[in-house]
Amino acid sequence: MSIEQISPEQARRRQQAGAVLIDVREAHERAGGQAEHARGIAKDALESEPTAFLPDRDAEIVLICQSGARSLRAAQTLVEAGYARVASVEGGTSRWIAERLPLAVLEQSDEERDFYDRYSRHLRLPEVGEAGQRKLQAARVAMVGAGGLGSPAAFYLAAAGIGTLVLADDDVVDRSNLQRQILHTEDRIGVSKVESARIALAALNPRVRVETFAERISADNVERLIEGADVVFDGADNFPVRYLLNDACVKLAKPLVYGAIHRFEGQVSVFDAGRHRGVRPCYRCLFPEPPPPDAAPNCAEAGVLGVLPGVVGLIQATEVIKLILGLGESLAGRLLHFDALGLRFRETRLAPDPDCPVCAAGREFPGYIDYQAFCSAH
């Protein structure tokens, strides 16, 4: 059955004669203005349970959206559900505005206006929408390292609207950092990295709460850092911290987004063994024991291509957002390798180690190891 399509002026006359005019756009779209006296009911909500909003199937119903496409599809759904008198406004709200018909502008607080404006591109993605953006807003991410990997990741996570970022780093800004650590600037040389990061992120998105943790990560404070976090971000540049983070995330059942860089190459994965014991691997399933310090030089010793942490850090940030939203397939169980010189990605499948001393199914947590002493001894 074809759906009747009518002009905005016809819709207004029918509304004045008693028809129910419904704007099926999302709340953030209606916030900028909607047809006067229209009811706002998002298309998905209306289609999922029409009788909750429209108990009378014989009532005259007119649907409007932004351009006319969504309202036409929603009208078809209502007709199939037994509604007899349904029409769609051709050209939608855009045409309604062009024809200078009366609009109602919804009152918003400054915070709501900021939310709808700032995240409008996320809100337009059906996979994110307002519900997903609210999840990001409520999320807490613990980030270890405000350097090469943490810089691009923190920028984009703050821009994306993560509600709380906990930044842990005990270092200060040095001029040599500025080649790749884009959170920091010349005028903040000598400032603690977490404070420099806080200044940069507040300037980008003042709605994001940044908590600073200017301490060296140890067994004594690692749980205090990651407690309450939805996701933990590993931007560490040394093995003792990396292994300690892994063990704490397994113990407290936190997903860990891992990244590492060396000269012209990088790696990214998600270690989620704490929530999926025996199903997903942890970092120690891949690397059972840390190497001695001289076998794994850091960026200061080996050098690093300045753009490399940007690529790897942004992949990590993508994984953080996906985990919070529950979207797509995470890198859990996969190790992504990036070769900047060849501009190639390759993937290695990872399996959980049934004898892993930390994450094997049914195994009690063995306690923290002093990895700093362990690495030095080896």
CATH code (residue 300):
3.40.50.720
Q: What is the pLDDT of residues 211-258, one digit of tens each?
A: 999 999 999 999 999 999 999 999 998 899 999 999 999 999 999 999
Give pLDDT < 70 ranges for the chain. 1, 292-301, 373-378
Is 277 in the same domain as 369?
yes
Write out the residue range of the structural domain in which residue 17 sits. 4-107
- CB proximity list for 301: less than 8 A, separation 6 or greater: none
Alpha-helical runs (H) found in 214-294: 222-226, 239-252, 283-286
Q: What is the pLDDT of residues 148-179, one digit of tens each?
A: 999 999 999 999 999 999 999 999 999 999 99
Cβ-in-10-Å burial (0-12, 13-18, 19+) of 101 comes to middle
Q: Which CA distances in Å does 139 have to 3, 165, 213, 258?
A: 43, 9, 18, 18
Number of structural domains (the chain) is 2
Mean per-residue pLDDT of the chain: 94
The pLDDT value given to residue 302: 74
Q: Which CA distances in Å does 159 have to 152, 214, 310, 317?
A: 11, 23, 15, 11
Does residue 302 form part of some domain? yes
Is 72 in the same domain as 178?
no
For residue 22, the domain's CATH number is 3.40.250.10
Q: Taking Cα atoms as reference points, which of 67, 7, 66, 17 lies closest to residue 37?
A: 17
Catalytic member of 65, 249, 285, 299:
299
Q: Which CA distances in Å does 172 have to 114, 180, 187?
A: 33, 15, 13
Classify the C-alpha dihedral 236-240-246-248 as positive or negative. negative
Alpha-helical runs (H) found in 128-278: 129-138, 150-160, 193-204, 222-226, 239-252
Is 101 in the same domain as 143?
no
The H or E element that residue 34 is part of is: strand 34-35
The pLDDT value given to residue 230: 98
Is 299 among the catalytic positions?
A: yes
The pLDDT value given to residue 124: 87
Is 60 in the same domain as 166?
no
Is 94 in the same domain as 159?
no
